[in-house]
Chains A and B, each alone.
Chain A
Amino acid sequence: MVYLAPPRSLHLAPLCPQPAERKLYRMTYPRALLRAAVLAGMTVVVLVLFAVQLVLMAPGVVLGMVFLIPPPIHAGRVLVNRWRRMFEAWTGRAVPVPYEPPPPPPEPDDEGLYRHDATLYKTPRFPRFFRRLDWLMKDPATKRDLSWQFWFLLLGLLPLALAAGPLLLAAWTWIWGPPWGLPGVPSPGAWWATAWTALWEHPAWLAALALPGLVALPWTVGAVARWSAWLLAPGTRPPSSSKRVEQTLLGWVRCAFLVACAAAEVVLFAISLACFALGFGLGLVFLIPVANSHFRWLVNLRRQFAEWGGVRIPRPYAPQLRPELRPDGMYRVKNNLYKTETMASFNASWQWTWNDIASWRDLLWLAVDPVATLALVGLPVAAVVYGGWGLVFPWAWTEFFGADWSAWYGAVAGHRTLGLAAGLALVAVGLAAPRPLLVANARWTALLLRPTKAAAEEAALRERVERLTQTRSDALDAQAAEVRRIERDLHDGAQARLIAVGLTLGAIERLMDTDPAAARKLVAQARETSATALTELRDLVRGIHPPVLSERGLGDAVRALALDTAAEVTVAGELAGRPPAPVESAAYFAVSELLANATRHGGAERIGVDLRHRDGLLRITVTDDGDGGADPSRGTGLRGIERRLGTFDGTLAIHSPRGGPTVATLELPCALSSPKTSTF
């Protein structure tokens, strides 16, 4: 049976200790002061953490140095968990640990090898690492943590800065005069310039600015704590406004990234040209496959980036051609035979890259894309960089810090202030523009990088064949196992009991005349044995194909199942006809397994089953109020259901957050036939 709900200790291990009970420390003024200092200190830690995560993640993602990714995230989790408990104590709100349970260690297969995706490893090291990587990167809680860190950098220092910042400045000014060349030489005459200069001449005024911050300190600290508690708890979504800010910044960063890629493409294209030149010019033919394919990593990366513009581009390449060792010791590649593996491999890689239309499309794209990408997404990048660095920054630099105006600084028709306005406008446009541009860029990328129609069709067929091969072998395995089980059950059960009955009847025959009393006793025994045999046969039949299923169809069979389940099960929905018998049977056993899981492992008390058939799809939803935490990748039972449904191109989707509720949806494409039931 399926292992649906792993025990709690496994869920929360090892870095997720749940507090036994929440303590709430009320906010007093001294406490607020202390907390403001703690928040400020945390900002420094978060800054380091965030920077380390970003710095290590960038090469991890872009250059494939994935081993750099998990340690900082893991360390971040330990820290953030500590803060979760701290915010719980500050706010009195529950901040549960949102992380998914860690993956189970990889198990060796029959040959003692460890599998990850399509590769077998000798040691569990790499599969374990990839599982952990998947676990960390796919967990929405990782994104939540990063998002909190990003915003905390802006907000964490705020309470203390508002309260103590002006005071510190005032003290500094009092003792040593205005720091960092402040107040500078702002343009004379402007009202704000006068106020600004006056402020620095009277440190007391400066200190007075701290008043609102000091008065509101408990409130500002509380707000930051509540906001953190809210964002760090699972199940909350950041408000759309902060999301929009993140999205806007992200859009621009993506544009910048594409521009960086475009620069790399120029280099890669140059390498390709050089390889072709050397290959055909100097006869270094071994460089030709390199020239054709060495850039695929970047091209694949750009295919992935097309998703930023909402376009999914599958990889178009033909499957890699590998030499085939023949019984006579020769290596065969297509219709050519080679004595050595090296030559065969070279020819295979030549054929693979040279004959694939995708290589040439890639190459063409590589030549054109730097220009196209620069034209499409270069604008916002340039606008923000020039607007910010060239126009706004010089203005602030010269206005506030009294720096001399340089001929390098940008201005509009000699007006610095006009330049400031233009700069701000440019930054705004640069930040607003990326989304449609990313879409346009993705479409352009898709134009050449998506598989040609023929290749796409071939890939789809290949995928279908692979899936059919897989499900067929699953189905055959399952069927063979089923037949073996039935054979064993019959052999050890009913068959053996019938033999016993036969033997007893023989004995009765002998004793009937001589010892009628003993014969009668044996008759009772024979009857009992045959009754047991019948019970066993009935159970066996129920396991093969429940009679109620053939008598009433899926709807009533599920209702009968519901009545036999310990929990309270409500069945809704009606089928207008009957699915084909094998589909019906698969659906029945899937529901049976799901109900058993819900009550046995999930501890469910109420279960709802919904049956529906629409647009050629039979959809059954099983919802329960149990503990949740069901995961098809762990339970063999759920995987068994998936396999069984897979034979009919059916699917099983499980949504089971910890704490429930669990929703299992199974879908089977099938047509309904008119019901074959009795006529009364």
Chain B
Amino acid sequence: MRVVLAEDLYLLRDGLVLLLQSHGFEIVAAVDSGPALHTALLEHRPDVAVVDVRLPPTFTDEGLQAALAARRVVPGLPVLVLSQHVEQLYARELLADGTGAVGYLLKDRVFNADQFVDAVRQVAAGGTVMDPSVIAKLVARPSATTGSLTPREREVLTLMAEGRSNTAIAKQLFLSESAVNKHIANIFGKLNLPVSDDDNRRVLAVLAHLQGQ
């Protein structure tokens, strides 16, 4: 799987390259600035891009903007954005085009290599991965609709919005898969969402609903 990597700190970039290579990814370009990332994305059209939000030359949200610009040219270009801090504002901008294949994670998540690599693969496959802290804030926000959910349904919703599959949710919550299915059906019913089998569509629907408030 071909990966473009953008990270300005040498140590971290090197670590990420090693980590991804050891899991069988091919690094086609590892760049350290916004303009270089933009060029690399359009030139290589990778299967997935792993991008740090803050990059030279302005050290603002260069990485995010470059990724968004590239996605405007190549719709659905899979991008996993890494950041020292997560903002719902940025999550919203990433999800705005509705094509999926985006991820937004705290850099800390790299610590758990398996989970991180899993997230990269999921984004590459067109899935949506949101950092738990983004989801937690979204779900925690009191509203008319999420207020009617039971605590268990809330847990399931949180994991679902993070992009986990039903199997993964069942494993994490020590439930049977059919019980998870039932919870999900309940959630969709309570939130007035169309039931969908496709993991990504499901996540997008939930996020769109939560953000719409």
Contact = CB atoms under 8 A, between A and B. Distances in A.
A550 B54 CA distance: 10
Interface in B97-145: 107-108, 111-112, 137, 141-142
A560 B61 contact: no
Interface in B40-86: 53-54, 58-62, 65-66, 68-69, 84-85
A679 B58 CA distance: 9
A558 B62 CA distance: 19
Contacts of A568: 213
Contacts of B142: 566
Interface residues of A, number: 26
B89 A560 contact: yes
Nearest to A550: B60
B84 A547 contact: yes
A546 B84 CA distance: 11
Given A678-B60, A678-B65, A530 B54 contact: no
B68 A680 contact: yes
A56 to B, nearest CB: 54
A563 B92 CA distance: 10
Interface centre among B59, B66, B108 (most CB of A within 10 A): B108
B14 interface: no
B86 to A, nearest CB: 9
B119 to A, nearest CB: 16
Contacts of A534: 107-108
Contact of B60 (A535, A546, A564, A676): A676
Nearest to A534: B108
B87 to A, nearest CB: 5
Contacts of B107: 534
Contact of B66 (A547, A566, A678): A678
Contact of B54 (A531, A541, A547): A547
B85 A542 contact: yes
A548 B65 contact: no
Interface in A566-581: 566, 568
Interface in A519-539: 527, 530-531, 534-535, 538
Contact of B85 (A530, A547, A676, A680): A547
B111 A552 contact: no
A556 interface: yes
B60 A556 contact: no
Contact of A556 (B84, B89, B213): B89
A472 interface: no
Nearest to A553: B60
B88 A677 contact: no
A552 B88 contact: no
B69 A527 contact: no
B108 A531 contact: yes
Nearest to B72: A680
A677 B58 contact: yes
B202 interface: no
A145 B120 CA distance: 72
Interface in B8-41: 34-35, 38
A548 B89 contact: yes
Interface string A644-678: 00000000000000000000000000000000111
A509 interface: no
B28 to A, nearest CB: 21
B88 A680 contact: no
Contact of B88 (A530, A551, A563, A566): A563
A93 interface: no
Contact of A527 (B87, B111, B213): B111
A559 interface: yes
Contacts of A530: 111
Contacts of A538: 84-85
Nearest to A560: B89
A190 to B, nearest CB: 80
B58 A680 contact: no
Contact of B111 (A531, A546, A564): A531
B34 A551 contact: no
B60 A552 contact: yes
Given A527-B111, A534-B108, A556-B89, A551 B60 contact: yes
A678 B108 contact: no
Contacts of A535: 108
Contacts of A563: 87-89, 92, 137
A495 B91 CA distance: 31
Contacts of B213: 568
14 contacts: A530-B111, A534-B108, A550-B59, A552-B89, A560-B88, A560-B89, A563-B87, A563-B137, A676-B58, A678-B58, A678-B61, A679-B58, A680-B68, A680-B69
Interface of B: 34-35, 38, 53-54, 58-62, 65-66, 68-69, 84-85, 87-89, 92, 107-108, 111-112, 137, 141-142, 213
Given A556-B89, A680-B69, 7 more contacts: A548-B89, A559-B89, A563-B137, A677-B58, A678-B62, A679-B58, A680-B66
Minimum-distance CB pairs A-B, first 9: A680-B65, A563-B88, A680-B69, A678-B62, A560-B89, A551-B60, A678-B65, A551-B61, A560-B87
